[in-house]
Amino acid sequence: MNKVVLIGNLTRDPELQTTNSGVSVCRFSLAVTRRFANSDGEREADFINIVVWRNQAENCHKYLKKGSKCAVIGRIQTSSYDAPDGSKRYTTDVIADEVEFINNNRNGGDGDGMTYSNAEPTSSQSKPKQTAELEEIDDESLPF
């Protein structure tokens, strides 16, 4: 199974292109913070290339910008090409199946996000998706 789930911030504005056959493709890079700190106590980030296709690509280009927080569900794809100097170069990208735009409360958002996927549009794609608030649960009320 080849499935990836990422949440991070865009490192640059998304770039939208169109293929010769008229299909939209959007590329951006996502900074994803690692879960644990390094030996110096700092949390490092990985910078992951994301590729989005069709209507979802146009929405990403329209609504995302450098610094935007989003969640991506997709698959890893590796490829290679010959560089002008004759060396072989390898790339690793995440091909997005779904992208959820996550508002930051610091930016005046209410925490709601919007989800776009490569599937046919659904009602959840045309209006903000509600996110549940987490409540503190008393351990005494748990059944186990």
- Let me know if residue 143 belongs to a domain: no
pLDDT digits (tens, 9 = 90+) for 54-85: 999 999 999 999 999 999 999 999 999 999 99
Which range of residues forms the domain containing residue 89?
4-130
pTM (predicted TM-score) = 0.72
Structure tokens at 23: 């299909």
- Residue 61: its pLDDT value, please? 97
- Let me know if residue 112 belongs to a domain: yes
- Let me know if residue 141 belongs to a domain: no
DSSP one-letter string for the chain? ---EEEEEEESS--EEEE-TTS-EEEEEEEEEEEEEE-TTSPEEEEEEEEEEEHHHHHHHHHH--TT-EEEEEEEEEEEEEE-TTS-EEEEEEEEEEEEEEE--GGGT--S-EEEEESSPP-HHHHSPBP-PPP----GGG---
- Residue 124: its pLDDT value, please? 43
- Let me know if residue 110 belongs to a domain: yes
Domain CATH code at residue 112: 2.40.50.140
Number of independent structural domains in the chain: 1
- Residue 103: its pLDDT value, please? 77
